[in-house]
Amino acid sequence: MVRRDRLRRMREWWVQVGLLAMPLLAAYLHIPPPQLSPALHSWKSSGKFFTYKGLRIFYQDSVGVVGSPEIVVLLHGFPTSSYDWYKIWEGLTLRFHRVIALDFLGFGFSDKPRPHHYSIFEQASIVEALLRHLGLQNRRINLLSHDYGDIVAQELLYRYKQNRSGRLTIKSLCLSNGGIFPETHRPLLLQKLLKDGGVLSPILTRLMNFFVFSRGLTPVFGPYTRPSESELWDMWAGIRNNDGNLVIDSLLQYINQRKKFRRRWVGALASVTIPRKRCHGPQCRFWMTTLATIHS
């Protein structure tokens, strides 16, 4: 009798906890994305959109030094956006005639369809479509990439190596802080859970918040290059734009794609003869600064 009463009270307690938790969880799941900072708002306002197969892709295109034929295309990393390049943007316009960057599909201010099969192949095709849109498909392009963008650059390099018609012509390539060799990559626990696409994925993407994001991302940086809290909020605002946190698990499929197509992408990097540079950590900081400050 005593045990039955205890079980009944325990059930009633859990029901009360559940009734209290439900509205709190509902409120949490409907927290609006953070407002754009003035700098991030300015970045969006100064950019443009083009349409790829019915999807809006955000990009920046600045005309730089007069008389130079050089064009550089910047490919950002995961899980951020083209805004990653804003600190060296002005310096690059002093070195190149055109400085171009885009938000990949599913990132930043670009569309984030769901469900959708996100792939490195599609992202590479979007880069090619952007250059056609800008009338630059026949120009020689310098590629500067970071992290996720490195893999997109490798796919573009493979297409260039195959001399496929309609593909962009690559003049030089600089890869930074990317897991080019999949066997050396050590994904975080959260990345492992999300990329495997199990039943936890949709729950985890909805529960993701700024605290989880910043705690997971900050250790990736070196001790002297870690982003400030305001910069982390800018990154998080870009992710939350268009409910981008809900497609993180789909975007993380690039980790599986990198393993599956290792021979294709690593092989392309090993066999081309164009000028290439690969840098990591503090070395990247030096090369980025050099790129942004050397004049033609």
Q: What is the pLDDT of residue 221?
A: 82
Q: Return mean pLDDT, the chain.
A: 84
Mean pLDDT confidence for 12-17: 52
Per-residue pLDDT at 201 exceeds 80? no
Backbone angles phi, psi at 174, to 5 degrees: -125, 115
Per-residue pLDDT at 286 exceeds 50? no
Residue 294 pLDDT class (50, 70, 90 cuts): very low
Among 38-52, 205-219, 225-239, the range scoring the smallest mean pLDDT is 205-219
Q: What is the pLDDT of residue 25?
A: 46
Pairing of β 169-176 and β 98-102 = unpaired
Q: Of 87, 105, 68, 33, which Cα lies nearest the Cα of 296? A: 68
Q: What is the pLDDT of residue 188?
A: 67
In CATH, the number for domain 43-279 is: 3.40.50.1820
Residue 26 pLDDT class (50, 70, 90 cuts): very low
CB under 8 Å to 165, separation ≥6 — which residues? none
- Residue 114 CA neighbour count, 13 Å, CB half: 15
What are the residue ranges of helices labelled H in the chain? 2-29, 38-46, 86-93, 120-133, 148-161, 189-195, 201-207, 210-217, 229-240, 248-251, 254-260, 262-271, 282-293
Q: What is the pLDDT of residue 292?
A: 47
pLDDT in tens, 128-159: 999 999 999 889 999 999 999 999 999 999 99
Per-residue pLDDT at 226 exceeds 80? yes
CB 86 within 8 A of CB 43: yes
Enter the tokens of residue 211. Answer: 């605290």
Mean pLDDT confidence for 239-246: 94
Among 54-58, 178-182, 220-224, the range scoring the smallest mean pLDDT is 178-182
Task: Kindly tell me the sign of the dihedral angle through the C-alpha atoms of 64, 132, 143, 275.
Answer: negative
Q: What is the pLDDT of residue 53?
A: 97
Q: What is the pLDDT of residue 149?
A: 96
